[in-house]
Amino acid sequence: MSNLLERLRRRGWRMTAQRRVVAEVLDGEHIHLTADEVLARATERLPEISRATVYNTLGELVSLGEIIEVSSVGRAKRYDPNAHQAHQHLVCAGCGTVRDVRPAGDPMDGLPEDERFGFTVTGVEITYRGLCPVCGARAEESRDGSGPGNG
Protein backbone atom coordinates (compact mmCIF):
# COMPACT_ATOMS: atom_id res chain seq x y z
CA MET A 1 0.00 0.00 0.00
CA SER A 2 1.11 3.57 -0.60
CA ASN A 3 0.20 4.72 2.96
CA LEU A 4 -0.65 8.16 1.56
CA LEU A 5 -3.26 8.95 4.22
CA GLU A 6 -0.86 8.04 7.01
CA ARG A 7 1.90 10.22 5.52
CA LEU A 8 -0.49 13.18 5.21
CA ARG A 9 -1.64 12.81 8.83
CA ARG A 10 1.99 12.77 10.03
CA ARG A 11 2.64 15.97 8.07
CA GLY A 12 -0.30 17.67 9.77
CA TRP A 13 -1.93 18.30 6.37
CA ARG A 14 -5.30 19.98 6.85
CA MET A 15 -7.67 17.09 6.14
CA THR A 16 -10.97 18.56 4.95
CA ALA A 17 -13.65 16.15 3.76
CA GLN A 18 -12.79 16.95 0.14
CA ARG A 19 -9.04 16.48 0.60
CA ARG A 20 -9.62 13.25 2.51
CA VAL A 21 -11.72 11.83 -0.32
CA VAL A 22 -9.07 12.67 -2.93
CA ALA A 23 -6.38 11.05 -0.77
CA GLU A 24 -8.55 7.98 -0.15
CA VAL A 25 -9.16 7.58 -3.90
CA LEU A 26 -5.40 7.72 -4.54
CA ASP A 27 -4.30 5.50 -1.67
CA GLY A 28 -3.24 2.02 -2.72
CA GLU A 29 -0.69 0.02 -4.64
CA HIS A 30 -0.55 0.42 -8.43
CA ILE A 31 -3.04 3.31 -8.37
CA HIS A 32 -2.24 5.59 -11.32
CA LEU A 33 -5.42 7.51 -12.04
CA THR A 34 -5.96 10.53 -14.27
CA ALA A 35 -7.41 13.67 -12.69
CA ASP A 36 -10.77 12.88 -14.32
CA GLU A 37 -10.70 9.35 -12.89
CA VAL A 38 -9.92 10.77 -9.44
CA LEU A 39 -12.82 13.21 -9.87
CA ALA A 40 -15.25 10.43 -10.90
CA ARG A 41 -14.30 8.23 -7.93
CA ALA A 42 -14.31 11.16 -5.51
CA THR A 43 -17.76 12.22 -6.73
CA GLU A 44 -19.11 8.73 -5.96
CA ARG A 45 -18.02 9.22 -2.34
CA LEU A 46 -18.71 12.93 -1.99
CA PRO A 47 -21.12 14.16 -4.71
CA GLU A 48 -20.60 17.86 -3.93
CA ILE A 49 -16.83 17.81 -4.58
CA SER A 50 -15.82 20.11 -7.43
CA ARG A 51 -13.45 19.56 -10.33
CA ALA A 52 -11.40 22.57 -9.17
CA THR A 53 -10.99 21.08 -5.68
CA VAL A 54 -9.78 17.76 -7.11
CA TYR A 55 -7.31 19.44 -9.49
CA ASN A 56 -6.07 21.85 -6.79
CA THR A 57 -5.63 19.00 -4.31
CA LEU A 58 -3.69 16.93 -6.86
CA GLY A 59 -1.44 19.92 -7.56
CA GLU A 60 -0.83 20.48 -3.88
CA LEU A 61 -0.01 16.80 -3.27
CA VAL A 62 2.47 16.88 -6.17
CA SER A 63 4.06 20.07 -4.76
CA LEU A 64 4.37 18.42 -1.35
CA GLY A 65 6.10 15.42 -2.95
CA GLU A 66 3.38 13.09 -1.68
CA ILE A 67 2.28 11.95 -5.14
CA ILE A 68 4.11 11.81 -8.46
CA GLU A 69 2.80 13.04 -11.79
CA VAL A 70 3.38 10.36 -14.41
CA SER A 71 3.33 11.70 -17.95
CA SER A 72 2.97 9.65 -21.10
CA VAL A 73 3.17 11.25 -24.55
CA GLY A 74 -0.27 11.99 -25.92
CA ARG A 75 -2.10 10.90 -22.77
CA ALA A 76 -3.49 12.55 -19.67
CA LYS A 77 -1.17 12.78 -16.68
CA ARG A 78 -1.63 10.09 -14.07
CA TYR A 79 -0.98 10.39 -10.35
CA ASP A 80 1.08 7.90 -8.37
CA PRO A 81 0.80 7.84 -4.56
CA ASN A 82 3.87 5.62 -4.15
CA ALA A 83 6.15 8.65 -4.05
CA HIS A 84 8.29 7.35 -1.21
CA GLN A 85 8.95 3.85 -2.55
CA ALA A 86 11.75 3.32 -5.08
CA HIS A 87 10.22 2.07 -8.32
CA GLN A 88 9.93 2.64 -12.05
CA HIS A 89 6.91 2.50 -14.35
CA LEU A 90 5.63 0.10 -16.99
CA VAL A 91 3.19 1.82 -19.38
CA CYS A 92 0.85 0.17 -21.88
CA ALA A 93 1.14 1.91 -25.25
CA GLY A 94 -2.40 0.78 -26.06
CA CYS A 95 -4.62 1.76 -23.13
CA GLY A 96 -2.22 3.81 -21.00
CA THR A 97 -2.35 1.54 -17.95
CA VAL A 98 0.59 2.23 -15.62
CA ARG A 99 2.08 -0.30 -13.23
CA ASP A 100 4.85 0.11 -10.66
CA VAL A 101 7.85 -2.15 -11.26
CA ARG A 102 10.99 -2.71 -9.26
CA PRO A 103 13.80 -3.86 -11.58
CA ALA A 104 16.79 -5.65 -10.13
CA GLY A 105 19.92 -3.60 -9.54
CA ASP A 106 20.50 0.07 -8.97
CA PRO A 107 19.27 2.22 -11.88
CA MET A 108 21.97 4.78 -11.02
CA ASP A 109 24.51 2.22 -12.22
CA GLY A 110 22.97 2.31 -15.71
CA LEU A 111 24.63 5.61 -16.61
CA PRO A 112 28.41 5.27 -16.94
CA GLU A 113 30.55 8.05 -15.47
CA ASP A 114 31.73 9.19 -18.93
CA GLU A 115 28.09 9.70 -19.98
CA ARG A 116 27.24 11.99 -17.05
CA PHE A 117 28.97 15.05 -18.58
CA GLY A 118 30.05 16.26 -15.16
CA PHE A 119 26.51 16.14 -13.77
CA THR A 120 25.93 15.01 -10.21
CA VAL A 121 23.08 12.58 -10.84
CA THR A 122 20.49 12.76 -8.07
CA GLY A 123 17.71 10.62 -9.48
CA VAL A 124 16.59 8.30 -12.23
CA GLU A 125 13.21 7.92 -13.92
CA ILE A 126 12.85 4.92 -16.19
CA THR A 127 9.67 4.15 -18.09
CA TYR A 128 9.24 0.75 -19.67
CA ARG A 129 6.73 0.65 -22.52
CA GLY A 130 4.85 -2.23 -24.04
CA LEU A 131 1.38 -3.73 -24.36
CA CYS A 132 -0.64 -5.05 -21.42
CA PRO A 133 -2.14 -8.54 -21.88
CA VAL A 134 -5.51 -7.16 -23.06
CA CYS A 135 -4.01 -4.77 -25.63
CA GLY A 136 -1.48 -7.41 -26.68
CA ALA A 137 -4.30 -9.88 -27.35
CA ARG A 138 -6.18 -7.24 -29.38
CA ALA A 139 -3.07 -6.51 -31.42
CA GLU A 140 -2.58 -10.22 -32.05
CA GLU A 141 -6.21 -10.60 -33.17
CA SER A 142 -5.78 -7.68 -35.58
CA ARG A 143 -2.65 -9.23 -37.10
CA ASP A 144 -4.27 -12.65 -37.41
CA GLY A 145 -7.53 -11.31 -38.73
CA SER A 146 -9.22 -13.40 -36.07
CA GLY A 147 -11.01 -10.49 -34.42
CA PRO A 148 -14.78 -10.29 -34.13
CA GLY A 149 -16.51 -10.39 -37.49
CA ASN A 150 -13.52 -11.92 -39.26
CA GLY A 151 -14.46 -15.54 -39.05
pLDDT tens track for 33-59: 999 999 999 999 999 999 999 999 999
From CA 41, how far away is CA 48, in angstroms rounded? 12
* 118: helix, strand or coil: coil
Residue 61 above 80 pLDDT? Answer: yes
Domain final position from 54, 84, 114: 84
pTM exceeding the 0.85 threshold for the entire prediction = no
Q: Are residues 79 and 90 in the same domain?
A: no
Domain final position from 84, 104, 133: 84
Counting the structural domains of the chain, the total is 2
Q: With both helix axes pointing from N to C terminus, report the angle between 4-11 and 17-26 in degrees, rounded to the nearest 10.
A: 140
Q: Across residues 58-71, what is the average pLDDT?
A: 94
Q: Are residues 79 and 19 in the same domain?
A: yes
Query: Mean of the per-residue pLDDT values for the chain?
Result: 89
Of residues 135 and 142, the one with the higher pLDDT is 135
Q: Tell me, what's the pLDDT at 31?
A: 84
Residue-wise pLDDT tens digits, 80-129: 998 888 889 999 999 888 999 988 888 888 888 889 999 998 888 888 99
Q: Are residues 79 and 93 in the same domain?
A: no
Quick one: which of 45, 40, 51 has its CA closest to 17? 45
Residue 91 parent element (H or E): strand 88-92
Residue 144 parent element (H or E): helix 133-144
Residue 59: which domain range? 1-84
Given its phi and psi angles, is residue 114 left (phi above 0), alpha (psi -120 to 50 degrees) or beta? alpha
